[in-house]
Amino acid sequence: MLHLMSILLLLWKLKKSKSCVGISCRMQECYAIVFCLRYLDLFYQFISVYNTAMKVVFISSTFYLIFLMRFQPPVSATYDRTADSFPYEQYLLGPAAVLGFISAEEWSIPEIFWTASIWLESVSILPQLILLQQLREVENLTAEFVATMGAYRFFYILNWIYRYFAEGYVNWIGWLGGIVQTGLYVDFFYYYAMSKWYGQKLVLP
Amino acid sequence: GKEEAVKDEL
């Protein structure tokens, strides 16, 4: 739900301000790849209506966000491709593919894709965080968006602890990826929490 | 069983 909320916050921000200054389209592209790799099971496995609906919403809304930022004026006119230039194709995709291949529990296409998607998701926030560090001053809605985008994985960790004790659920790759992902946010959360506590604008060092 | 682990998370 936090993940969904962060997407809705971003959509709302783009529609309201008609600007995507401070938003990394490259992060959304990473997520689009994550979703496409992971949700291949839409074609051969049914888990629940909720599960299917969320997958469809995640994929379609993420592609829509990319479309808005890259191609749809007036939002696309504000997209700064020079600032948002983190080369994830080299730094994230390659390593995620290699790690996915090495650490997959079995060498099947769905398993390798799923594993690569976990590793890629864990670092997908990097283009966004790096963009914000260049700009330093973060708009309120952008701050809320990034905070919810980080918080959802933290709540997964709580759920994994519960599931481990309640059902003996084990998911080593998911756990490791989730810890890396949440860890990358710790620094941002600190400055976010401080800005909320003191009621000031979020300014990154 | 572990071999039939369903990936029920998003």
Residue A202, beta-bridge partner list: A138
Name the nearest CA neighbour of A28 among A78, A79, A69.
A69
**A142-171 pLDDT, tens digit each:** 999 999 999 999 999 999 999 999 999 999
Q: How far apart are CA A20 and CA A77, in angstroms?
A: 9
Q: How confident is the model at residue A100 (pLDDT cuts 50, 70, 90)?
A: very high
Answer yes or no: do A41 and B7 touch at CB < 8 A: yes
Q: How confident is the model at residue B1 (pLDDT cuts 50, 70, 90)?
A: very low
Region A99-105 average pLDDT: 97
The mean pLDDT of chain A is 96
CB distance A157 to A178 below 8 Å: yes
Answer yes or no: do A55 and B10 touch at CB < 8 A: yes
The pair of structure tokens assigned to A78 is: 């504000």
Answer yes or no: do A51 and B2 touch at CB < 8 A: no
* pLDDT higher than 90, residue A62: yes
Answer yes or no: do A174 and B2 touch at CB < 8 A: no
| Chain A touched by B1 (CB under 8 Å) | no
Answer yes or no: do B9 and A174 touch at CB < 8 A: yes
Using a CB–CB cut-off of 8 Å, the residues of A that contact B are: 3, 41, 45, 47-48, 51, 54-55, 58, 114, 156, 170-171, 174
Percent of chain A with pLDDT over 70: 100
Q: How confident is the model at residue B6 (pLDDT cuts 50, 70, 90)?
A: confident
ipTM of the complex: 0.81
The pair of structure tokens assigned to A165 is: 């004790």
Region A52-70 average pLDDT: 98
CB distance A113 to A70 below 8 Å: no
Q: Tell me the chain A residues in contact with residue B8 when contact means C-beta distances shorter than 8 Å.
A: 47-48, 51
Q: Which of B6, B9, B10 sits opposite A58 (nearest CB)?
A: B10
Is the peptide bond preceding residue A205 cis, with omega within 30 degrees of 0? no
Residue B4 is predicted with a pLDDT of 53
Q: How confident is the model at residue A103 (pLDDT cuts 50, 70, 90)?
A: very high
Q: How confident is the model at residue A204 (pLDDT cuts 50, 70, 90)?
A: very high
The pair of structure tokens assigned to A109 is: 């296409």
